[in-house]
Copies of this chain bind each other. A is one copy, B any other.
């Protein structure tokens, strides 16, 4: 493609409304253009990267035996009512009415539609196993769309759904998809990790997320430094340190802690370590139940674990007035002694002696608190967030912490949707069985954005070869110089002929501006044609990733580039 005939509106300034590098760079490199909050047009340069990822995904889905179909974006309410999600899904589900006042939604995910397709077309176990996928625009009405394609409202997703007669079949479908996902993100040239994850509002029994590692990632993940355990912190377990609990050495004592409300303030005032101060969090569930959760001062609450334990959707902290009402003291001084509500303690409290808690009196805490002697706790549970340094739940290793961007998510759904929608098949004995399902998503646009988040420098994007919009960029220094123009043109023709994807900067611009754009666009190989080098018969090539340079003769350049590109693709 000749840049003089292309639509590539590059921008020098960092856009004010873009917070993270990939968003800034995709706007600056003319890859995307915002049309409304969380809604973008993919410009030609950006669309090419999207298509590269789509193609890798498609090849690996096909290789894993999945069949491509295409479901609609506009979905009748009835299907979502059958599954119960019409009520449950919340406002991310954009609901609308057609001209006849019939209710529809814009599909944020397609479990209901695919289950309807399968219940209407699959009758016998002999038609199984089946795995159906699509690559399609989806819509989620995010309350805070941000970070460009990372959290958009309209976005491109690959979603696959497997159908099996039994759990063993479903497990092996899950395993095949897990391996396909490993291949996909490896082929995209990404550093990533598969982690155990919560199943959220998709449901099902277990799931893994595929996380591209990047400091700006919205997700915190942990992985073991010695085994292959890895999980989203939402889900991550930790090894309970070895017991038993030390014996009590202090007597229970009421101490004044005037104006000290935060754990840090109290610990500093009392001269104790943070872990010896036990936090009492006063909370309320979505059904109105009030309870207290006890946690070590250096730990934080994992609300997802708590919700699962309580069987609720949400918990929230009581406000000032409610804290006063329940504990009899202002916020910051609540404690378990004499508290009239359900109390649940994190497991690790069972190993703690001589600790400090709020006294349910303004400006006072208790010191020297000991279980059993001073405080009876009926419920212990794993309620805390894992963090770096925690013991691995699977082995003697320790957890490391990472930030990640979720680009894929695989779920074992079980029979949640097939039972709700009556999707059954006749088994070999002629008995009706509900289908056992799995679902498997990849955010296509988000994968492109993550690749940029992981691969850029202060000058611009550094595309991995497999998903680069073009593989080679020819920079013609001066289009008015006949010899250079002809040499560049010849190289362009040779590369096209060889099937190399090449962008030809034939614009009448200053070389400095062309090099700046070259760095910004991040095409893996940059070829400079013109100037003194060309007079010596030399063409300069530079790799965007590491800046490595080569000086080649005109005769050898095309073949050499072709080999480099093929090699880079073969290695991924």
Task: Indicate if the CB atoms of A98 and B141 lie closer than 8 Å.
Answer: yes
A174 to B98, CA, bound (A): 35
| A495 is an interface residue with CB less than 8 A from chain B | no
Task: Indicate if the CB atoms of A117 and B74 lie closer than 8 Å.
Answer: no
- Residues in B neighbouring A141, C-beta threshold 8 A: 98-99
A40 to B120, CA, bound (A): 13
| A502 is an interface residue with CB less than 8 A from chain B | no
A47 to B67, CA, bound (A): 10
Q: Knowing A6-B67, A67-B6 touch, does A74 contact B143 (C-beta < 8 A)?
A: no
CB distance from A521 to the nearest CB of B (A): 15
Query: Which of B33, B76, B91, B127 meets A120, CB within 8 Å?
Result: B33
Task: Indicate if the CB atoms of B65 and A99 lie closer than 8 Å.
Answer: no
Query: Could you tell me which residues of chain A, from 369 to 414, have a CB within 8 Å of some CB in chain B?
Result: none
CB distance from A134 to the nearest CB of B (A): 9
| A42 is an interface residue with CB less than 8 A from chain B | yes
Task: Indicate if the CB atoms of B73 and A73 lie closer than 8 Å.
Answer: yes
A121 to B29, CA, bound (A): 12
- Residues in B neighbouring A42, C-beta threshold 8 A: 69-70
Closest residue of chain B to A143 (Cβ to Cβ) is: B99
A256 to B59, CA, bound (A): 79
0/1 string, A82-101, CB within 8 A of B gives 1: 00000000010010101100
Query: Which of B71, B79, B154 meets A74, CB within 8 Å?
Result: B154
CB distance from A55 to the nearest CB of B (A): 12
Task: Indicate if the CB atoms of B139 and A74 lie closer than 8 Å.
Answer: yes
Query: Which of B6, B35, B113, B121 meets A75, CB within 8 Å?
Result: B35
Closest residue of chain B to A507 (Cβ to Cβ) is: B126
When all copies of this chain in the complex are counted, the total is 2
Q: Knowing A69-B42, A69-B44 touch, does A96 contact B94 (C-beta < 8 A)?
A: yes
Task: Indicate if the CB atoms of B121 and A72 lie closer than 8 Å.
Answer: no
Closest residue of chain B to A74 (Cβ to Cβ) is: B154
CB distance from A501 to the nearest CB of B (A): 13
Task: Indicate if the CB atoms of B104 and A99 lie closer than 8 Å.
Answer: no
0/1 string, A533-550, CB within 8 A of B gives 1: 000000000000000000
Query: Which of B7, B71, B76, B96 meets A121, CB within 8 Å?
Result: B7
| A132 is an interface residue with CB less than 8 A from chain B | yes
| A487 is an interface residue with CB less than 8 A from chain B | no
CB distance from A517 to the nearest CB of B (A): 15
Closest residue of chain B to A128 (Cβ to Cβ) is: B5
Task: Indicate if the CB atoms of A96 and B99 lie closer than 8 Å.
Answer: no
- Residues in B neighbouring A71, C-beta threshold 8 A: 35, 41
0/1 string, A1-32, CB within 8 A of B gives 1: 00001110100000000000000000000100
Task: Indicate if the CB atoms of B7 and A130 lie closer than 8 Å.
Answer: yes
Task: Indicate if the CB atoms of B137 and A76 lie closer than 8 Å.
Answer: no
| A122 is an interface residue with CB less than 8 A from chain B | yes
A342 to B1, CA, bound (A): 60
A132 to B6, CA, bound (A): 10
Task: Indicate if the CB atoms of A117 and B41 lie closer than 8 Å.
Answer: yes
Task: Indicate if the CB atoms of B96 and A33 lie closer than 8 Å.
Answer: no
| A116 is an interface residue with CB less than 8 A from chain B | yes
- Residues in B neighbouring A6, C-beta threshold 8 A: 67
| A68 is an interface residue with CB less than 8 A from chain B | yes
Task: Indicate if the CB atoms of B67 and A7 lie closer than 8 Å.
Answer: yes
| A353 is an interface residue with CB less than 8 A from chain B | no
- Residues in B neighbouring A43, C-beta threshold 8 A: 69, 117, 121
- Residues in B neighbouring A91, C-beta threshold 8 A: 99
Q: Knowing A41-B72, A91-B99 touch, does A5 contact B47 (C-beta < 8 A)?
A: no
- Residues in B neighbouring A75, C-beta threshold 8 A: 35-36
A136 to B47, CA, bound (A): 13
- Residues in B neighbouring A40, C-beta threshold 8 A: 72
| A39 is an interface residue with CB less than 8 A from chain B | yes
Query: Which of B67, B72, B94 meets A99, CB within 8 Å?
Result: B94
Q: A98-B153, A137-B137 are in contact. List 9 more A-B contacts (CB 8 A).
A: A6-B67, A7-B127, A40-B72, A41-B71, A41-B113, A44-B68, A44-B132, A47-B69, A72-B154
Q: List the 7 closest pairs (A to B, CB-CB), nearest first.
A: A9-B121, A96-B96, A42-B70, A36-B76, A44-B67, A91-B99, A39-B72
16 pairs from A and B in contact (CB 8 Å cutoff): A7-B127, A35-B71, A35-B79, A35-B117, A40-B72, A41-B69, A41-B113, A41-B117, A43-B69, A47-B70, A72-B154, A73-B139, A74-B106, A74-B139, A74-B153, A94-B98
